[in-house]
Structure 1
Amino acid sequence: MSKLYSAAELAYREVKELILSGALPGGELISEGEIATRMGSSRTPVREAFLRLEAEGWMRLYPKRGALIVPVADGEAEHVVDARLLVETHAVEAIARNPRARDVLVLTLRENLDRQRELIVSGGDAAQFSVLDADFHRALVRAGGNPLLETFYDGLRERQRRMTARSLARDPEQISKIVDDHARLTDLVAAGDADGFASAVRRHMREVHALSEGGRR
């Protein structure tokens, strides 16, 4: 790997993380120079990173003006939540019939919950929490044993992280409520209560992302 490619990859990862964590919010205009200065690099690898992020839909480039961070599209949160609900409830329905798989999943979820609580105590930030949140929900899907659905769900992960970070920026106190919700969801999985889980996870997701039951925010 060339030094130029390494620098471009580093710039890509850093800027994308800033977008997913909400540090670069939708609608903000940034320049190659700002990022190059921040990273202590030349503009060339930053330009390559910007082109890649534009191709992925995270940025919109304007010559001589800069790069616009593309906001979360109207209705995107609703669509992401609907897709997640279908996949997660399907996975829990599958493991509800498999006590051994259920026990393994519950152990994984409780370990994740411990890390969430430790993060609160240590004063961790929303970006760190959004990673743990995404890992918690992905563990549910992975336990369902359907690799196609798992791959599909992985495609939602980055959007999920960005949405969660935005929700926590709006209301930082939500973190404690989310942890409580995750504990409740874990208990429902442990009990093999797929119907109770479906109801609880729907309410959890819609409340976290401020979505009404009747439609969009």
Structure 2
Amino acid sequence: MTAPISTTAASDRAYDHVKRAIIRGDLPGGTAISENALCQEIGVSRTPVHEAFLRLAAEDLIMLESRKGAVVRPMSPNEAADVLEMREAIESTAAARVVRDGRAADVGPALLAVLGEQQHAVAAGDVDRFVELDAEFHGAVIGASRNGIAVMFARTLRDRQQRLRHQLMRLRPEQLQASLDDHRALAAALEAGDAARYAAVLHEHVASHRGAL
């Protein structure tokens, strides 16, 4: 006989399921989420689903309304612009430190590996995989700076940034190749020790996301 799933495990399952759907854009902003429907869909009871909703609301991914229940919180253009602005500031500063401290060679192999995987994702039209690798690429640069504060803030922005990435790539699938080309230029700038070039390419790279707002 299969052991019953604990309430905590069931709550985590519901949380991960809904969060993934929101970030991927499967549940767009303004979508109402039925507790009953979700319970049936993933096979858990209402208590863990309610707990998951409380966690998602605390992260500002959903709103809990008395009449509508759980509703996916839309990301306003102002919020999206703020996320992109902070993301650019954090990464350009981190890249400058990587160059200054001579760590570009340390992160170079990891970036090249990601670029190779992204090329495969582009060829396969695999948006989900590309977006995950996108976060991995930029996260590697920030991590290489060894700036703990930058890493912490980047982690805070990650979910919102991933939501924007999915939105852009689904609205404009041709952006997959353009984004890969930008990543190659960023890796080249870092390898050359050119922090100013990195910042310039990153600025244009981030600007492509603004076009999808």
Give the alignment's TM-score, normalised by structure 1. Answer: 0.90
Shift of 1:123: 3.5
> Would you say the 8 A contact 1:142–1:150 is kept in 2?
yes
Residue 43 of structure 1: CA displacement?
Answer: 2.3
Q: In structure 2, the residue corresponding to 1:67 is in which secondary structure?
A: strand
Which residue among 5, 9, 20 is the counterpart of 1:6? 9
The separation in 2 between residues aligned to 1:207 and 1:120, in whole angstroms, is 17
Instruction: Decide which of 113, 123, 126 is 2:125's aligned counterpart.
Output: 123
Q: 1:154-173 counterparts in 2 under 5 A?
A: 154-173=155-174
Counterpart selection for 1:94 from 97, 115, 120: 97
Q: 2:68 aligns with which of 60, 65, 68?
A: 65
Q: Which runs of 5+ in 2 are unaligned?
A: none
CA distance in 2, matches of 1:65, 1:174: 36
Corresponding position of 1:214 = none
Q: Secondary structure at the match of 1:13?
A: helix
Which runs of 5 or more residues in structure 1 are unaligned?
212-216
Matched residue, 2:197 = 196
Percent identity (aligned): 34
Moved over 6 A (4+): none
Partners of 1:51 and 1:94 in 2: how far apart?
A: 39
TM-score, length of structure 2 as denominator length = 0.92
Q: How many residues align?
A: 209
Q: Distance in 2 between matches of 1:77 and 1:155?
A: 14
CA RMSD of aligned residues (A): 1.6
Distance 1:121 1:35 in 2: 34
| 1:77 alignment partner in structure 2 | 80
